[in-house]
């Protein structure tokens, strides 16, 4: 590759990274959980959404045989966004920290559109938990799915489905 082609490629990468960083600093489209228009039916029959006074929302089924709940809340960044973006916070570090309280804990970091985050699978007391934490421009959205350990596969699948259903609403369809 000649010098002018390298320079053009470098400049293009610079512009792309700048645009990505500008987009990353813009935050989420939704400013509160109720803006997401949650659809409880993605979890199955009988599930409902309850919006809490503190701005959070909970999807659950009070009449179902198994008790699965997903709680969703939005807040301000806790400084993990920078570590995820610059690579100083890794899946290995998150897993290591989580293993202190659950020997079967796993964590994975990811990039989703202009956002960065992690997904955590662990056990809290007697309950299985899958938790997504998504950061963008100083804002954070957390989805926490919990169920009896016997229903780990169900709550993991439900949490994944709810997470995927709200992404377009968080990223303005991006």
* CATH code where residue 150 lies: 3.40.1000
| pLDDT greater than 50 at residue 81 | yes
pLDDT for 103-155, tens place per residue? 989 999 999 989 999 999 999 888 999 999 999 998 999 999 999 999 999 99
The mean pLDDT value for 63-73 works out to: 89
Domain that holds residue 13: 3-170
Nearest alpha carbon to residue 160 among 127, 121, 122, 124: 121
Task: Return all residues near 155 (Cβ < 8 A) that are at least 6 apart.
Answer: 68, 70, 128, 129, 130, 145, 146, 147
pLDDT for 33-50, tens place per residue? 998 999 999 988 899 999
Q: How many domains does the chain have?
A: 1
Helix (H) or strand (E) holding 163: helix 152-170
């Amino acid at each position: 590759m000649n010098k002018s082609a390298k320079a053009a490629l470098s400049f293009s990468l610079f512009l792309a990274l700048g645009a990505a960083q500008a987009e990353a600093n813009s935050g989420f489209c939704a400013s509160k959980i109720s803006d997401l228009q949650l659809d409880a039916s993605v979890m199955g029959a009988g599930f409902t959404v309850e919006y809490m006074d503190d701005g959070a929302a909970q999807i659950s089924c009070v009449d179902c045989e198994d008790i699965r709940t997903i709680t969703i809340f939005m807040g301000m960044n806790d400084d993990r966004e920078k570590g995820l973006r610059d690579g100083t916070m890794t899946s290995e570090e998150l897993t290591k920290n989580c293993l202190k309280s659950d020997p079967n804990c796993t964590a994975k970091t990811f990039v989703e559109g202009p956002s960065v985050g992690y997904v955590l699978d662990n056990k809290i007391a007697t309950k299985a938990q899958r938790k997504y934490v998504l950061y963008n421009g100083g804002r954070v959205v957390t989805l926490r799915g919990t169920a009896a350990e016997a229903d780990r596969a169900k709550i993991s699948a439900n949490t994944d489905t709810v997470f995927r259903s709200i992404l377009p609403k968080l990223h303005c369809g991006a």
